[in-house]
Structure 1
Amino acid sequence: MDESDAHWRAIELMQIAGRIVGSWLPEWTAVESYDKLRRRTSQPGISLFFSEAFLLSTEPELPGRTLPTGWHVTSDSIAARLAICLGARRLLLLKSRGATPGERSHWDQAVAGGLVDAFFPHLAGLLPEVCFETLPDGGGDLSSIR
């Protein structure tokens, strides 16, 4: 399998994982359309966005730096590109470990430490704020994440 095919199979797996998460957190609103997500951003609550259709057809047509395909682009860069396209004031990335002070202030350290993917620094500077939240051990209660 070439790198591009592997990239798109990983996106498909993200869709499946998202559906599993959605079944665990039914209070989150599942959204598959970028236009619906744009409308949803003005409403209260948490949205769970399924990005495959956005990545295949919408994202390449939007202004700004588009996402390449490959292992150097993960959900971190997808979330950053989506946040930029939506004009978000803040991007919150959920991580399995906390970010070190160096990783919070120097994207090259965040990439080297495996906190974010290699493409993320190309997008991070276009966002007003990037924050990290450490997921609770064992999945725990996600209700505090806003």
Structure 2
Amino acid sequence: MAHIGFGDTPASRCVYYRQACDLPASIDPPHLGRIVMRAAHVWGLSMPTALGQAVKIRMHKQGCDIGPIMSHTRSVRWTFLIRPDLPDEVRLFAEMFRLNVSVIRDGGTIALPSPTDQRVEFRRWIEPPRCTFRPSGLVVVDSIRACAGHSRVRMITPVQA
């Protein structure tokens, strides 16, 4: 992002996000300069900062590429941008909900760091996007489970009558 030749404005940042990173960014609302994207071919996993830090460290130690991660300073959360390869399973979403992890999927809105955020520190990049790479959502979920003390999904066995 530092190599944008025409200045760092919300419009130029959107161009960078779209062209270099394949993030479908737009400015909404224009008068505030907030940058958002609709989740479609990029999803997000949002979690408390402490869990996000542990996940990032674990993925790094495992030799996994990290991909873009942003911090939401006011809500004390991190969001990992991921490939949309998580199965559409209620158990998975319930498990993530219990761990205070939000899955931002098709149609969801993800706010991205904007140059207008720098004065008030709403959002900032922990790992900025540099290309189109995003880690597998399954890899990030496995790291979340490991860091939260869950190595696998707990299966609920139905009671036989």
What is the TM-score of this pair, normalised by structure 2? 0.25
**Which protein is bigger by CA-based radius of gyration?**
2
For CA contacts below 8 A with separation 6 or more, give which structure has more relative contact order.
Answer: 2
Structure with a larger share of its residues in strand: 2
What is the TM-score of this pair, normalised by structure 1? 0.27
